[in-house]
A and B are shown apart, each in its own frame.
Chain A
Amino acid sequence: MEKKKVNSKNVKRTKKSSKQDYFVYECLSALIVTVILFAVSLLSLIGKDREYSENENRYLTTKPQFSWSSLMDGKFMDDAEAYLSDQFLLRDKLVSLRTDIDVFFGKREINDVYIGKKHFLFEKPSVFNEARVKKTTDAMNNLKAKNQGINTYIAIAPNSTEILGGYLPSNAPVPNQTEQINKIYQSLSGYTPIDLCGPLKKVQDPQELYYRTDHHWTSKAVDIAYAEIARGMGLDPAAYQYQNLPVTDSFQGTLASSAGIFSAKDTISVPTCPSDVMYRVTYVDENRVTTSVFDPQKLNSKSKYEVFFGGNYSQVVIESSSSSEKVLMVVKDSYANSLIPLLIPHYKKIIIVDPRYYNDNIQNIIDTESVTDILWLYNANTFLNDTSIAAKLS
């Protein structure tokens, strides 16, 4: 009985001391947190503001201006919050740490970007919305019906998810784009379809066909697509012998920015110009004329793919000294920007229209420019999401 009492007393004492021990460490951890809290706060206040974020490709929020009206409608508070988080200490480091944590714990999709193997990033593929696609193809069929005499071709490029399946994260849900593209081809009448999926899938080392950090295709893929398109449109690819020359090896594209993963860099190459053909490029809405389809200044910017044509414009016209009498209209998205330079020697005139930015009816161009050929050149993701084609053709 006596012994038991002593024992329970001992137990009580150790319990008490372990409780006290716990209390000491709880205080210590609270103290560390308090120090971090105040340190972060003070450092945020004395730190120098950054104006521009290279990674995010945007201007950061600067000190909000106080006014009573901005206080009453809450704008001041929103600006203050944006300012504090935009200018937060080591912001870029924290963001990349977060991505590392996410990826470590298995996450393979960030901001609609799949994080694949070997530094490959993928644009999450578009879904096939029957109604939306039907609107587009109906409008295209209407256009063709009105212009029976014009040779009309369509080439839809598959995206990297279709060609680089082996580099996708495990179990990533991707549609069969070859089927989707064929379905689109089948619903078009009077269009000569050009299959790009087959030839791209046959390539031995497909990892060269798409950028790892951007949603576009590389010059290597363009070479293959050019050969196919030339064959489909009856052009002679031998008439233009060119080489691809690398112009930058530090390209980190849209996918890297979206996901916040900057672990890899890509190389962009551009084709050499045809030796016997001169040309002139007119940016119609911008009222600007140049002698090159390349904009080398873009190589110093974030969006280096814009080295081709300086980006997307509503209407660009290329007039060349080619002996051809044909006039080509290209209706396109940005995939076409790296391929069109190869078409220059084959046409007297090429009119490039991007329906996303072109605000007039396309028929007007066909009528006034006496177009002889039309090429629709898109990538699958953009085509499937597009609503501007239907809007601009009706």
Chain B
Amino acid sequence: MVFSSATFLIVFLPLTMALYYLLGVKITKSMAVKNLILLIASLIFYAWGEPVYIILMLLSIFFNFIAGKDIEQAQRRKDKKKAKSVFIFAIIFNIGVLGFFKYANLFISTFAGITGLGLRPLNLPLPVGISFYTFQIMSYIIDLYKGNIKAQKKLFVFALYVSLFPQLIAGPIVKYKDISDQLMNRKENWASYSKGINRFIIGLSKKLILANTLGSIYASVQASGAENMSVLTAWIGIFCYTLQIYFDFSGYSDMAIGLGGVFGFEFCENFNYPYIAISITDFWRRWHMSLSSWFRDYVYIPLGGNRCKVPRVIFNLMVVWLLTGFWHGAAWNFVLWGVYYGILLILEKYILDNLVKKIPKILRWFVTMVAVMVGWVMFSAPSIGEAFRYIGVMFGRSASFADATGSFLLTTDFALLLIGFACALPVYSFLTGLLSPKKRSRLILALTPLLFVLCIIFMISETYNPFLYFRF
């Protein structure tokens, strides 16, 4: 199930909220009941989209719960060897499951392509959210082994941690150590509820009003093929995608954080206006922060981080970025995208650092945005070859600079591009900062309900599906 669907908004969410607050908060006032309601809701939420793969998730939960207990028990008995072997086994299990379901197809078809063997890919569909929940589980196992946390004693609370529906399928990646207290002890109140609802609507609007609309423009540009594209069209297209992926992803995180708030949780932030970044390093401090911090804590620092000699630091960075790229999808263009960022970050760190400081900020921002947009071409292209053709068009390898398609897009979608651009930058908080506090608070009263109604309009109208007599 996704948040921007009729099933979620009409049936699932109201029902879960009503049960949680009536049965959990008002009548029984019991943490166990509240958690049980959330767990059942989360399992239904997942099963609704993955009626088969929910078994995989349950197995993974069960296995890691036992592994966690074993590690703790071994450590208590000072049996370091056993703790280590269980830990390594658990990590291999988790990476193995993720690797098999996410990457087997890619490896088999690439291997077959190179060797010319007629191997058939498995064509397993990717279980939704597996990249997210596996990383959450691994944060639990690693922190447990390192002694940062205690093992969760109750299976159903551990299951709730893994499957908690607000952040289950698209993050933020919440580390167990950050949320373990809230699982056992949290207090719902008006502040977190109303903040959560407002945040949820912001996220829903990002997804339904902005991301989907911008996405359809990029899709039409991409469909026309790089060989027929003018420079202008290519830039409009990738600009739309740049905004789309931000609104899509950060919108989902907003919805997750908002829904968390509705049920009394406080999740970590995941985005902080990435498109105002003035360097690539800055960008990655603002984009998908929970993933970067996961890789920092569990890969980069264990490898030695930057407290080593330069060649080793470069190696560490490349490992992290290769993995980051790969994590985003089982295709080689994601790897290219990760390596691209790895190289840019290393360049920034060792070569450009002093040079860049002399350049005016606005120029640094501009160059950063161009680099990010080029990155999104690699990210979104169907293949590496297509990505390079598209980038070629952006930088002039095209028959025309501006054609009718480009100028039509620009005239008819100008308002949308402008609104999207403004929403991706902190323009709203700047403008409302100019208002008196009183007016600012009145504004939210009008804005959120209006956005919600707009979301409903956009959600329903997207299903408009006229049947045209095909015999014409």
Q: Give the nearest-CB partner of B190 in chain A.
A: A27
A21/B10 in contact, CB under 8 A: no
Q: Which of B13, B404, B408, B460 contacts A95 (CB 8 A)?
A: B460
Residues of A close to B442: CB separation below 8 A: 25
Q: How far is the CB of B262 from chain A (nearest CB, A)?
A: 9
B9 at interface, CB cutoff 8 A: yes
Q: Which of A58, A171, A172, A173 contacts B466 (CB 8 A)?
A: A58
How many Å lie between the Cα of A312 and that of B471 in the bound state?
6
Residues from chain B with a CB closer than 8 A to the CB of A98 are 457-458, 460-461, 464
Distance, CA A206 to CA B114, complexed state (A): 61
CA distance A174 to B407 in the complex (A): 12
What's the Cα separation between A267 and B271 when bound, in Å? 55
Closest B residue, CB atoms, query A104: B415
Contact A312 B7 (CB under 8 A): no
Stretch at the interface among B46-54, B62-70, B163-171: B46-54
In the complex, what's the smallest C-beta–C-beta distance from B251 to chain A, in angstroms?
16
Contacts of A44 in B (CB 8 A): 10
Interface residues on B, range: 35 or more
> CB-nearest residue of chain B relative to A37?
B14
Q: B95 an interface residue at 8 Å Cβ cutoff?
A: no
Which segment, of A83-91, A142-150, A219-227, A284-292, faces chain B? A83-91
Interface assignment of A272: CB less than 8 Å from any CB of chain B: no
The chain A residue sitting closest to B406, CB to CB, is A173
In the complex the two chains form, is A81's CB within 8 Å of B5's CB? yes
Knowing A18-B438, A77-B49, A98-B461 are in contact, say whether A108-B412 is a contact too (CB < 8 A): yes
Closest chain-A Cβ to B369's Cβ sits at a distance in Å of 24
A20 CB to nearest chain B CB (Å): 9
Q: Bound state CA distance, A37 and B190, in angstroms? A: 17
Instruction: In the complex, identify which listed stretch (A182-190, A194-202, A252-260) lies at the interface while the others stay far away.
Output: A252-260
Q: In the complex, how many angstroms separate the beta carbon of A117 from the nearest chain B beta carbon?
A: 14
Fill in one digit per residue for B2-28: 1 if any A CB lies within 8 Å of its CB, else 0: 000111011101100110000000000
Contacts of A306 in B (CB 8 A): 469
User: Does chain A have a CB within 8 A of B467?
Assistant: yes
- Collect the chain B residues with CB atoms within 8 Å of residue A55's CB: 466
Within 8 Å by CB of A58, from B461, B465, B472, lies: B465
Contact of A30 among B193, B404, B440, B454 (CB under 8 A): B193
B465 contacts A106, CB within 8 Å? Answer: no
Q: Which of B52, B416, B458, B466 has the most CB of A within 10 A?
A: B466
Give chain A interface residues in 45-65, CB to chain B under 8 Å. 55-58
**Given the contacts A30-B197, A171-B407, A254-B468, A94 and B461 also touching, CB distance less than 8 Å:** yes
Interface membership of chain B positions 157-182, coded 1 if the CB is closer than 8 angstroms to chain A and 0 otherwise: 00000000000000000000000000
Asked whether, in the complex, the Cβ of A85 is within 8 Å of the Cβ of B6, the reply is yes
- Which B432-472 residues sit within 8 Å CB-CB of chain A? 437-438, 440-442, 444-449, 452-454, 456-461, 463-469, 471-472
Residues of A with C-beta under 8 A to B444? 22, 25-26, 29
CB distance from A97 to the nearest CB of B (A): 5
Count: A-B pairs, CB below 8 Å: 184
Within the complex, the shortest CB–CB distance from B437 to chain A, in Å, comes to: 3
A29-B449, A171-B408, A173-B408 known; A56+B441 contact, CB < 8 A: no
Given contacts A30-B194, A30-B448, A33-B201, contact A41 B10 (CB under 8 A): yes
**Residues on A with beta carbons closer than 8 Å to the beta carbon of B7:** 77, 80-81, 84
Q: Does B403 contact A (CB under 8 A)?
A: yes
Which of the residues B190, B195, B471 comes within 8 Å of A311, measured between beta carbons?
B471
In Å, the complex CA distance between A357 and B470 comes to 11
| B411 adjacent to A97 (CB under 8 Å) | no
Closest Cβ–Cβ distance, residue B82 to chain A (whole Å): 40
- Say which residue of A27, A84, A172, A303 sits within 8 Å of B194 (CB atoms): A27
- Tell me whether A232 is interfacial, beta carbon within 8 Å: no
Q: Name the interface size band of chain A.
A: 35 or more
B37-49 Cβ-contact flags toward A at 8 Å (1 or 0): 0000000000011
Residues of B contacting A106 with CB < 8 Å? Answer: 411-416
**B35 contacts partner chain A, Cβ-Cβ < 8 Å:** no
In the complex, the answer to whether B197 meets A173 with C-beta atoms within 8 Å is no
Say if the beta carbon of B383 comes within 8 Å of chain A: no
**B408-433 CB contact bits vs A (8 Å, 1 = yes)?**
10111111100100000000000000
Are A173 and B201 in contact (CB-based, < 8 A)? no
Instruction: Please name all residues of chain B whose beta carbon is closer than 8 Å to the beta carbon of A88 when the two chains form the complex.
Output: 6, 460
The distance in angstroms between the C-alpha atoms of A86 and B193, with both chains bound, is: 31
Q: Are B464 and A56 closer than 8 Å at their CB atoms?
A: yes
Confirm or deny: A170 has a beta carbon within 8 angstroms of a beta carbon on chain B. yes
Name, among A28, A169, A260, A303, the residue most crowded by chain B CB atoms within 10 Å (CB to CB): A28
> Which B residues lie within 8 Å of A29 (CB)?
194, 197-198, 444-449
B residues less than 8 Å from A258 (CB atoms) = 466, 468
B85 at the interface (CB under 8 A from A): no
Contact A85 B463 (CB under 8 A): yes
Interface status of A6 (Cβ within 8 A of chain B): no
Q: Give which listed residue, B190, B407, B419, B438, contacts A21 with CB less than 8 A.
A: B438
A-B contact list, 20 entries, CB within 8 Å: A21-B437, A23-B191, A26-B444, A27-B190, A29-B444, A29-B446, A30-B196, A33-B197, A33-B449, A40-B456, A56-B466, A74-B49, A94-B456, A98-B457, A98-B464, A105-B416, A106-B414, A106-B416, A107-B416, A312-B471
Give the B-binding residues of A (Cβ under 8 A).
14, 18, 21-34, 36-38, 40-41, 44, 55-58, 71-74, 77, 80-82, 84-86, 88, 91, 94-95, 97-99, 101, 105-109, 111, 169-174, 215, 254, 257-258, 260, 303, 306, 311-312, 333-334, 356-357
Q: Which 9 A-B pairs have the closest CB atoms?
A: A173-B404, A98-B461, A18-B437, A30-B194, A58-B467, A30-B197, A84-B6, A25-B441, A257-B466
| Further contacts, 13 of them, CB under 8 A, given A58-B465, A172-B408 | A22-B444, A29-B198, A57-B466, A57-B467, A58-B467, A72-B52, A84-B11, A86-B463, A88-B6, A98-B458, A101-B457, A254-B468, A258-B466
Residues of B within 8 A of A (CB): 1, 5-7, 9-11, 13-14, 17-18, 48-49, 51-52, 190-191, 193-198, 201, 403-405, 407-408, 410-416, 419, 437-438, 440-442, 444-449, 452-454, 456-461, 463-469, 471-472
